[in-house]
Structure 1
Amino acid sequence: MTHESTETSSDSLPTVEARLQAVEAQVHALQVALQQARALFHNAPQATFLVNAQGRVVQANAAAAALLGSTADLLHRRPLLGTLPPSSHTAFTALLDRVFGELGPQTTELQLTGTGGRIMDVLMAASLHASEGHEPLCQLTVTDITPFKAAHEVLLDATQTQERTVQMLTLKLRQLGEEFRNVMLVSEGELSTTLTRAQNFLTLHERQTDPDERQRSLHHVSMAVQQTQGLLDSLKQYMQARTIRARPQHVNLARVLREVLKDTAEARLERDVQISQGALPMVVGDSRVLHIILHEYIVNALKFTRVRPQARLHVLVKETDTEHWIGVEDNGVGFNMRQKEQVFELFTRLHASDLYEGTGLGLAVVRSLCDRFGGRAWAEGKVDQGATFWFAWPKVPHSDAGSGLS
């Protein structure tokens, strides 16, 4: 009996040893797997925290520690809430409540205080890790989205700027279209009136027999034709000025004035006209635009000094920190300062058209061009004591100067 029991016990030893070896192998495998899992967690490129229900850090991988400018050991058992700015405290607490309330994985955007106190916008993804016999933990995966948010803000700003630009251009196009329609309607009426007057006097001329009367009728026809031609010329200048694509460059205003005076030489024939000027500056602009402005001011001064035995025109020059002021002063009939804004309105005449020719387009074009280049146009005057027409030209070119819209 004893002999048999001894043999049975001896036979079972290899079996126990085999089982022990198998268990040891399993434990070793589990240790290796645990080490691998820890290494994977620690070296994961994504910043990851394990926190308990109170929000204290149980573990933090290398990326998470680097994100906060700390180490895993220093972060251990520290409240993660302390790394968040106050504005994100409520969002973080609510995130933990939802996760530990077993509402499933959660995601939220909040801010985190990183290395050197830098405030980062982060996306925080959270999920619950619970195992029997162990404290439930929340895994937080943190992604720095600060560059994305910054790029988004830049894109949003650019989009809003573009939308405002489109709205502004749409409004300008609408205003320009309305202005064109008004100009065409009024021009049609003006042309119809002058051509009808010419036709009426031609008809009268055919019926008249007295040479003096026939001559007077022809004179009226000639005046009506001149008015028609003047209106057509003004319309041409208006269209050119409103659609011109400016080429900003350094412009010598003294040279522009000399060209204007050459163009207006015929209007000064058989008149006593004295023209003086200050030292005109170099400006940045388009020479064609500046020629139009000075031409209109000189022609305007010559027109309203016609009643003077001697016309005196003086080109004034002033300067501020940001602008050059150029004025054309005359000793003409002047105007009431209560009408100073009407002077620059389309088709506005402050004086009788039978005494002073003109279409009322020129000064409106001047103001439009000045506005387009970031400048200003205004006038000063006294009845029967002359007037001064000014324009202010910016020293730094306006950003919309090259546009064909104004």
Structure 2
Amino acid sequence: MQQQGRLLFSEAPAPYLLLNAQGLIQDINFAGASLLGRNREVLLGKHFGQFLASTSQRSFDHLLSQASQQGLSYRSEMQLLHLDGTEFEVLLDLNAEKPAGELQRFRLIVTDITAYKAAYTHLLNDTESHQRQLQAQSSRIRELNQELEHVVTVFIQQLHLPLTRAMNFLGRTRRALGNASDEVKPPLLNTEQAVQQVIALMASIERYMRVRSMRIRLRTVNLNSVLSEIRKNAQPLLAERQIQITSDVLPTVQGDPQALYLILDEYVANALKFTKEKNPARIHILVREGESEYHIGVEDNGTGFHMRQRNQLFGRLHSSKAYEGTGVGLVTVRRSAQRFGGRVWAEGKVNQGATFWLAWPKSPVLRE
């Protein structure tokens, strides 16, 4: 049995050493001698620390001291020396044998981890390189976004004046023609509508860009005051149509007044747009309070939509030949709500109206 155990020790694939209490090599297997690059007879009686790099010798002595005092297994990475003096990385597993509370010897397993350390170092270098690349790409993307925002802003500003002049010219021409023939007036009206659509598109994009760069902060906002301001600004549109706008008592919430105005204003404008054929048009603002959020809905009796189209919402559903609009406004609504942890959705039936909902958290958390 003892001979079999001796054979297993000698032939073990892992470098295996037995050290006495002072750290001298009492026994070593073939794998251990091969790792140290010396004959077994030369190694016996030598202190294992002398085969370590100078930077690891003190650490090894400390490891021996800990193991002898505590009688536990310890693991540590150190550097061994080749015969030519070059260093290589090893992992030491040291176990103190104390059968009767008195240190008898140490069992030491040595694992060459040079390849592992090289791979680990390579991985770290690759990771650092990728992080630098990502940082550079992020910086470049920020620069491109800023450049794009600047270009779009300048483009919109530059278009305002010629479009306004075009609208004035078309209006004056139409009025100057008076009772012109049917061959003349329709093209003028169509051209005027086309220019109005471009102006509306520019306004939507301008609002979207403003939301992207909006500096928001949380404060107390009375939604009744927000709705009152929206109705005041919509008076020119309301004066030309029969529209009933009613509302539940709206809550006071935590949020940004600009963002909340933008969302509700877009919802009301959307309701006005899709009730153009209704007389009278009815718009009602609903409130439902949940445990953690308020649900604010803008309900109308307009054209509605089929619920199969609900995944297409917050983009334009109707042909621009029938209704003006671009869908950019609802995209802006979604983005604005999400920055506070809010949600948006809609419900509707064809020719029976729609309700566009905003779920606003009672304790919003700002998100970029």
The question of a shared fold, defined as TM-score above 0.5 by the shorter chain, is answered with: yes
Cα distance in 2 for residues equivalent to 1:172 and 1:321: 38
1:52 deviates by 1.8
Any idea what SS the aligned residue of 1:308 has?
coil
Say whether the 8 Å CA contact 2:174–2:185 is kept in structure 1: no
Say whether the 8 Å CA contact 1:198–1:224 is kept in structure 2: no
Structure 2 equivalent of residue 274 of structure 1: 244
Structure 2 equivalent of residue 334 of structure 1: 304
Any idea what SS the aligned residue of 2:250 has?
coil
Structure 2 equivalent of residue 388 of structure 1: 355
CA deviations 1:258-307 (Å, max 9, x no partner) are 21122112222254433333443333332111111110000111121222
Any idea what SS the aligned residue of 1:388 has?
strand
Structure 2 equivalent of residue 23 of structure 1: none
Q: Which amino acid aligns with 2:337?
A: C
Q: Which amino acid aligns with 1:52?
A: L
Matches within 5 A, 1:167-316: 211=180, 213=182, 219-220=189-190, 222-316=192-286
Cα distance in 2 for residues equivalent to 1:380 and 1:333: 12
CA deviations 1:214-255 (Å, max 9, x no partner) are 666665565455444433433332332232222333322232
Q: Which amino acid aligns with 1:250?
A: T
Structure 2 equivalent of residue 364 of structure 1: 331
Say whether the 8 Å CA contact 2:247–2:286 is kept in structure 1: yes
Change beyond 3 A, Cα 1:372–1:104: same
Matches within 5 A, 1:35-114: 51-53=23-25, 64=62, 68=66, 74=69, 82-85=72-75, 98=80, 104=85, 108=89
Say whether the 8 Å CA contact 2:305–2:351 is kept in structure 1: yes
Say whether the 8 Å CA contact 2:153–2:206 is kept in structure 1: no
Cα distance in 1 for residues equivalent to 2:314 and 2:146: 16
1:334 deviates by 0.4
Change beyond 3 A, Cα 1:244–1:163: farther
CA deviations 1:316-349 (Å, max 9, x no partner) are 334555543322111111012233333323xx4x
**In the comparison of the two structures, how many residue pairs are matched?**
291
Structure 1 equivalent of residue 40 of structure 2: none
Q: 1:378 aligns with which of 345, 350, 362?
A: 345
Cα distance in 2 for residues equivalent to 1:203 and 1:390: 43
Cα distance in 2 for residues equivalent to 1:83 and 1:236: 68
Q: Percent identity over the alignment?
A: 36
Cα distance in 2 for residues equivalent to 1:210 and 1:263: 34
Any idea what SS the aligned residue of 2:228 has?
helix
Cα distance in 1 for residues equivalent to 2:306 and 2:335: 22
Cα distance in 2 for residues equivalent to 1:232 and 1:260: 20
CA deviations 1:47-88 (Å, max 9, x no partner) are xx9622259999x99x949984x9x8x47xx7xxx4415xx5
Cα distance in 2 for residues equivalent to 1:327 and 1:67: 73
Change beyond 3 A, Cα 1:384–1:280: same
Larger radius of gyration: 1
Any idea what SS the aligned residue of 2:332 has?
helix
Q: Which amino acid aligns with 1:359?
A: T
Structure 2 equivalent of residue 119 of structure 1: none
1:376 deviates by 2.8
Any idea what SS the aligned residue of 2:313 has?
helix
Say whether the 8 Å CA contact 1:238–1:362 is kept in structure 2: yes
Q: 2:313 aligns with which of 343, 346, 360?
A: 343
Any idea what SS the aligned residue of 1:301 has?
helix
CA deviations 1:333-381 (Å, max 9, x no partner) are 1012233333323xx4x32334322233211221222333433322222
Say whether the 8 Å CA contact 1:202–1:221 is kept in structure 2: no
Say whether the 8 Å CA contact 2:149–2:209 is kept in structure 1: no
Any idea what SS the aligned residue of 1:353 has?
coil
Point out where structure 1 has 5 or more consecutive residues left out of the alignment. 1-48, 114-156, 402-406
Q: Which amino acid aligns with 1:51?
A: G
